[in-house]
Each structure stands twice: as C-alpha cells, then as structure tokens.
C-alpha cells in the first residue's frame, strides 16, 4: 500500500474518500456491465460496479419508447449463465427485458453503486494501478472494465434553423408514445430501426409522419419463411463467405419486400453485413413500417436543408408544414470524455482493434459492449474478460492482500 501515498493529487488530497477495490471496477450497469459482473462472480472475483443513474440499464428504463421489443430472437439476447424464462415470447417486450435484467442482477448479487458518475479514470504508472474518480470518492484498482457501451450519449445533429423552430423538438430517447402527437405532422429525422419504428408508432396513433432518409439504408424483413433473418445469417455464415451471405440476404429481401428504392429508400453499394462491419450501421429489420410507406401513410423525404418556424425545407427544395420533430439520430460512446487513455480507445470512443480483439487493452484495461454486435457480442466479451481477470486474480491478488490503511483513509472494499 505504500505506493498509494503517491496517488493523491495535492489539490484534492482530503476532498475525496479513497477506496481500495480488491478486484476490478466496472463502469456502467447496463447489460454489458451486468454480464461482466455475473461472470466475475462465477470466477469468485470481487468487483465494484459504478453507475451514473439510479437504476440498472438506464438506457432501457429511461430512454426507450413504450412499444419497443427486442429486434432479435431472445436466444441471441440472453446474458451469460441465465437464459430468458421459457414463457417469454421470441421477441421480449421492453418490460420483459428489464424484468429479466433485474432478476439477473439479483441472481448474481450485483449491487451497483448508483448515482456515481465517473469524472475521470487514468492509469498511474508509478503504482501500476487505476485511479477512478467520482464526485465523492476515488476508487483504486488493478483492473478497469469500461462497460458504458455504444449508446451512452444522444447525438443531436446541427440543423440550420433548429433553434428557431416553433414546434416541439425531442430526441428519440425522450419519445414514449405517439399518443400525444395525434393529428400532428411529425418529421422523424433518421431512418434506422428507431426512426422506422417511431414512424410506425406515430401512424398507429393517427399522426402524419415524414421520415428523413438522407443516406442509404438496408431494410431487411425481420423473418424469412418463418425464421429470424438474423438467425438465418448466422447459420449461413458458418458455411459461406460474408459476400455470398450478403447477396443471399439481398435476394431474400427483394423476394419478401420487393424493390424498396422506388419508395425513396436507397440501398448501400455494399451488402448489409459488410456495411455493418465497416460502417457500424445496423440494417433495419422491418416490422411494419414498409407497408405504411407503400400506402403513403409514412412519407419518405430527402435530407433537410433548413427548418423555419413551422416548416422544413428539404434538400430538393420542397417545403413541408411540420408541427413536431423527433430526432432519431442515434447515440455515441462517451468514453473520451472521462477515460484518460489514448492507446486502446480511439477518438470516437470505440476500441481501435477490430472484433474479436477489442476487449482487452494494456495495464488491466478492458472494454465490453463495443463490438457493434449487440447483446451476443457483449456476452462474448464479458466471458473473455472474466476469465482473463479471474486467472490473474487467482494467481496474484490472493498472495498480495492489501490490508494496510493508507494516509487518505483508503477504505478496503473487500
């Protein structure tokens, strides 16, 4: 513990409690953080989970719309060591998924420290330990697991005239239901899965949505001949190269959905799986929005030039009257705002190494939930991380128990 004397910055020497964690600190109590914690529990490794919100899975609990269901079959979304209940449908609802995560945390005795927003984390080369600072405390640990995920912060586009628009403007994270938009003309900016589903929900509540499709997008049927499109792709990838699987998926999509380009939905030049791997953009799995586009209930429009008080001017010069705007413009990683590290993570907040090598950095740094492969990718990362830390912890940490109290009232967590 003698080296811990050097860990305190002079200016906040007495301002924070110093807490020694005899195991990893996991930043984030979403599905990725919970999966890692559960796998560590199975390894017998102690841990601390820090969560900035007051609940687990805050993205799911606070920033998702009411009609949301898992887009993939439940077997591809379950976390390690605990399958979904058998009576859950193939595509669990938002509430069912949250209930599953709550039971998951209870089953593996995961008790995050809520309302603990990490302000900074950096590796101290002198001591060989990580310093993780929140407003009230500084956590000292040998391993740091970044589990804040791909969707930590909302992305708000810079649209000319947005501040002057007279109607309501909300990000999709604040959208719950189309009920309050009944009879209104709503511009949905973004044609990913969220944009498409929100547009469908608006239609079902008798609103008139227009969806902005500024760039190309892959739209696939959620199921092909009664089988999940994702499951079919996984099966084909076992036997065929990616380029051929992409071609087959596009053929199936054309047979089921027809030619979507005549409705203003232009497909990318590369196939859906390659586009996902290279650009990080998930194909839209259609659950009914395309039918509303065909009927004209959802209008597809090109990019926005500017907004005025009650209108939007499109890139083609057309003007539309608009009552409200929903920004389905996605999310981004917030890792660069708090992690003081430049080798493992890139400026966009994702690991530099491509899948499947982006889970482990240097000096005890790990990342989970950044694979762009959904919950199955997070689960895979979590198991690797727990096994790696578990091996090191069993070999080394038990032999070097930190029992001496440090000068800054360093509290041993375990």
pLDDT of residue 219: 95
Rounded-to-integer distance, Cα 318 and Cα 273, Å: 34
Domain final position from 295, 327, 359:
327
CATH number at residue 81: 3.50.50.60
Same domain, 146 and 233: no
Same domain, 170 and 124: no
In the numeric block, the tokens 């600072």 are attached to 133
Domain final position from 327, 354, 381:
327
Q: What is the dihedral of CA 26, 27, 30, 34, to 10 degrees?
A: 10
Domain containing 176: what range? 155-327
Same domain, 350 and 386: yes
Same domain, 309 and 194: yes
Q: How many C-beta neighbours within 10 Å does residue 284 have?
A: 24
Same domain, 339 and 319: no
Rounded-to-integer distance, Cα 21 and Cα 368, Å: 20
Same domain, 223 and 237: yes
Q: Are 59 and 164 in contact (CB under 8 A)?
A: no
Rounded-to-integer distance, Cα 270 and Cα 256, Å: 20
Q: What is the pTM of this model?
A: 0.89
Same domain, 41 and 111: yes
pLDDT of residue 410: 55
Domain final position from 327, 356, 382:
327
Question: Domain tally for the chain?
Answer: 2
Q: What is the pLDDT of residues 258-267, one digit of tens each?
A: 999 999 999 9
Same domain, 399 and 288: no
Same domain, 176 and 273: yes
Per-residue pLDDT of the chain in tens (414 residues, 90 and over written 9): 434 434 445 445 445 789 999 999 999 999 999 999 999 999 999 999 999 999 999 999 999 999 999 999 999 999 999 999 999 999 999 999 999 999 999 999 999 999 999 999 999 999 999 999 999 899 999 999 999 999 999 999 889 998 889 999 999 999 999 999 999 999 999 999 999 999 999 999 999 999 999 889 999 999 998 889 999 998 999 999 999 999 999 999 999 999 999 999 999 999 999 998 888 788 999 999 999 999 999 999 999 999 998 899 998 899 999 999 999 999 999 999 999 998 999 999 999 988 888 999 999 999 999 988 889 999 999 999 999 999 998 887 556 654 444 444 455 555
Q: What is the pLDDT of residues 299-337, one digit of tens each?
A: 999 999 999 988 999 988 999 999 999 999 999 999 999
Q: Are 34 and 110 in contact (CB under 8 A)?
A: yes
Percentages helix, strand, coil for the chain (3-state, rounded to 5) are 35, 20, 45
Same domain, 33 and 124: yes
Same domain, 279 and 195: yes
Same domain, 53 and 28: yes
Rounded-to-integer distance, Cα 20 and Cα 255, Å: 59
Q: Which of 208, 184, 214 is nearest to 329 (CA)?
A: 214
């Amino acid at each position: 513990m003698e080296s811990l004397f050097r860990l305190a910055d002079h200016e906040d020497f007495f301002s924070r409690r110093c807490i020694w964690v005899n195991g990893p600190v996991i930043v984030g109590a979403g599905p990725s953080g919970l999966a890692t914690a559960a796998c560590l529990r199975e390894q017998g490794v102690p841990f601390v989970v820090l969560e900035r919100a007051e609940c687990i899975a805050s993205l799911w609990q606070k920033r998702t719309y009411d009609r949301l269901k898992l887009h993939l079959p439940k077997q591809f979304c379950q976390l390690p060591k605990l399958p979904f209940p058998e009576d859950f449908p193939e595509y669990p609802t938002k509430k069912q998924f949250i209930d599953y995560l709550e039971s998951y945390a209870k089953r593996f005795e995961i008790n995050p420290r809520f309302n603990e927003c990490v302000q900074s984390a950096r590796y101290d080369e002198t001591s060989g330990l990580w310093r993780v600072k929140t407003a009230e405390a500084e956590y000292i640990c040998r391993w740091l697991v970044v589990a804040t995920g791909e969707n930590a912060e909302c992305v708000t586009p810079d649209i000319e005239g947005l501040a002057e628009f007279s109607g309501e403007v909300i990000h999709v994270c604040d959208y719950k239901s189309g009920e309050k938009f009944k009879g209104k003309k709503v511009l949905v900016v973004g044609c990913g899965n969220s944009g498409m589903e929100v547009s469908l929900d608006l239609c079902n509540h008798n609103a008139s949505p227009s969806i902005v499709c500024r760039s190309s997008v892959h739209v696939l049927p959620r199921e092909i001949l009664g089988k999940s499109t994702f499951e079919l792709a996984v099966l084909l990838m076992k036997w065929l190269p990616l380029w051929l699987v992409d071609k087959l998926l596009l053929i199936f999509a054309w047979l089921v959905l027809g030619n979507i380009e005549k409705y203003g939905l232009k497909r990318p030049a590369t196939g859906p799986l390659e586009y996902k791997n290279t650009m990080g953009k998930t194909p839209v799995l259609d659950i009914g929005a395309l039918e509303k586009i065909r009927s004209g209930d959802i209008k597809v429009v090109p990019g926005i030039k500017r907004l005025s008080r009650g209108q939007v001017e499109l890139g083609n010069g057309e003007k539309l009257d608009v009552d409200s705007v929903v920004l389905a413009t996605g999310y981004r990683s917030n890792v660069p705002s708090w992690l003081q590290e430049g080798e493992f993570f890139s400026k966009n907040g994702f690991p530099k190494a491509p899948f499947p090598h982006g889970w482990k950095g240097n000096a005890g740094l790990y990342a989970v939930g950044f694979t762009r492969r959904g919950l199955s990718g997070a689960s895979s990362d979590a198991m690797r991380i727990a096994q790696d830390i578990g091996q090191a912890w069993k070999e080394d940490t038990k032999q070097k128990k930190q029992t001496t109290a440090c000068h800054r009232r360093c509290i041993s967590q375990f």
